[in-house]
Amino acid sequence: MKKTKYKIYISQYKDLIFCQAYYFTKCTEDAQDITQDVLIKLWHNLDSVPRKSAKAWLLRVTKNLCIDHSRRKRELVASAVAVNSDGDEFQLELEDCGLNPEQETINLDSKERIMDAIHQLPDKIKNVVIMREIQDLKYDDIAAALEMPINSVKVYLFRGRKLLFEQLKPFYGTSVFE
Amino acid sequence: MDCTICNNLMDDYFDGHLSHKKRKQVTGHLTTCQGCSEFFRKYENMLKSIRNVEIKKCPDEVVDSVFDIINIDDKFSRRKSVFDRINEFLFLYSRQLGIAGAAVTVFLFVFLITSQFDKTTHVQQQYTTQDVEQATDQVKLALAYFNQVTSRTEEIIEKEILHQQVVRPMKSSIRTALKPLINGG
């Protein structure tokens, strides 16, 4: 019975979890890792997760793992200073899923621009924007997942849209948004 | 409506959360203000572009690796068997199915009780030929009595009219004619 329930949850929500993680991290491998962690957590907490709030629970865990992941990455970048044999400090090159500057200039795809713009949003706003604009979730679901009132969800969303608009402004004149 | 208010209402306008009156005011402003109209158009295009971003699907390997970690022998596949589908349906809609079952049971119960009640009332309302004949006789008797009363009433009315219109004037004219004789005598 537990297995059946677990499989049903997986088939229902795995794309939702993966999509949330993917647009948050902007990296397929990281999104896969996060999805895997969420699904393992779900297995261990299956009995304590009420069926009604399973979606909110999964989104909440995904959000927390995404934020942890982003924090870890920031810390890693900050601590990636090594000392060479001459005693000089230098920045270690970290494996990054993002595109390098050359690729960024070459890539003129509007979706990439949008992804970049979303990726640069503050974490809380980013979560709300992904849930509402990309995953098309209802305000109620977002509020339940992020444990905040619906009005706060709206405030974050509207702020996020304004920030995206500011970032994507230079491209409005091009055919991308026409 | 000025441009600041109009721009503050922009998100609610695109989310369809404005009242009819406010929406009309915003639309009215947009038809007269070139700047706001252009800004709204660009903002709407941006929202459309974000909403058109592809929904990423989770690769099956992720689920398979999870199954390996938690020691579930099965392999996850996007293609579900009929049994899986039935299981999923029962799991997801068990509550709705329960409610529907309860509703059907209540309906059947009410239907059975009502039909039984109809039968008993139907039996109670059946009359024999004798009952019908008796009732017809009683109606006939009542009609005869009614006719009698009516004709009697007509007679009384006729007599009264006769008395009023003929007898009383005659009496008074005789009395008037005899008055001098009586007085003179």
CA-to-CA separations, A47 to A43, B54, B89, in angstroms, rounded: 9, 33, 20
Report the mean per-residue pLDDT for chain B: 81
Q: What is the CATH classification number for the domain harbouring A167?
A: 1.10.10.10
Q: Among B89, B60, B54, B90, which residue's Cα sits nearest to residue A14? A: B60
Q: Give the pLDDT confidence of B98-153 residue by residue, as tens digits.
A: 888 888 989 888 888 877 766 666 656 677 888 888 899 999 999 999 888 888 88
Alpha helices in chain A (DSSP H): 2-25, 28-44, 54-79, 101-106, 110-119, 123-129, 139-146, 150-168
Q: A136 with A64, same domain?
A: no
**Residue B95 pLDDT greater than 80, yes or no:** no
Q: Which of A43, A65, A97 is at the close of a domain?
A: A97
Nearest to A4 among B51, B65, B87 (CB): B87
Specify the pLDDT at position A81: 55
The answer on A135 and A81 residing in a single domain is no
Domain boundary residue, one of A97, A121, A142: A97
Residues A21 and A69 in one domain: yes
A76 is a domain residue: yes
Mean of pLDDT values over B59-65: 85
For residue A104, what are the domain limits? 99-171
Does residue A39 sit within a domain?
yes
Calculate mean pLDDT across residues B39-67: 85
Question: To probe the interface with B, which of A19, A20, A24, A66 has the most B CB atoms within 10 Å?
Answer: A19
- List of chain A residues whose C-beta atoms are within 8 Å of the C-beta of residue B47: 133, 161
Asked whether residue A178 is assigned to any structural domain, the reply reads no
In a domain, A117, yes or no: yes
| Set of chain A residues whose Cβ sits within 8 Å of the Cβ of B61 | 32
Q: How far apart are CA A50 and CA B170, in angstroms?
A: 109
Residues A33, A105, single domain; the answer is no
Q: What is the CA radius of gyration of chain A?
A: 19
Cα A131 to Cα A19, A53, A87, B153: the distances in Å are: 9, 16, 47, 93
| A157 and A140 housed in the same domain | yes
Q: With a cut of 0.85, is the ipTM above it? A: no
CATH number at residue A14: 1.10.1740
Interface touch A172/B45, C-beta < 8 Å: yes
Q: Could you read off the pLDDT tens digit of each residue along chain A, which spans 178 residues?
A: 777 788 888 888 888 999 999 988 888 888 999 999 999 999 888 888 888 888 899 999 999 999 888 888 877 766 655 555 555 555 555 445 554 444 444 444 677 888 888 888 998 899 999 999 888 898 989 999 888 999 999 999 999 999 998 888 777 554 334 3
Chain A interface with B: residues with Cβ < 8 Å: 3-8, 10-12, 14-15, 17-19, 22-23, 31-32, 35-36, 39-40, 43, 110-111, 114-115, 118, 129, 133-136, 154, 157-158, 161, 164-165, 168, 172, 176-178
Residue A8 sits in the same domain as residue A73: yes
Q: Look at residue A10 and tell me if it is in a domain.
A: yes
Indicate the number of domains in chain A: 2
DSSP conformational letter for A169: G
The residue with greater pLDDT, B177 or B74, is: B177
Q: How far is B11 from chain A (nearest CA, A)?
A: 7
- A76 backbone dihedrals φ, ψ, rounded to 5°: -65, -40
Residues A20 and A84 in one domain: yes
CB A160 within 8 A of CB B32: no
Last residue of some domain: A78, A97, A116? A97
Distance from CA of B71 to the nearest CA of A (A): 11
- Let me know whether A13 and A85 are in one domain: yes
Q: Are A80 and A108 found together in one domain?
A: no
Are the CB atoms for A23 and A63 separated by under 8 Å? no
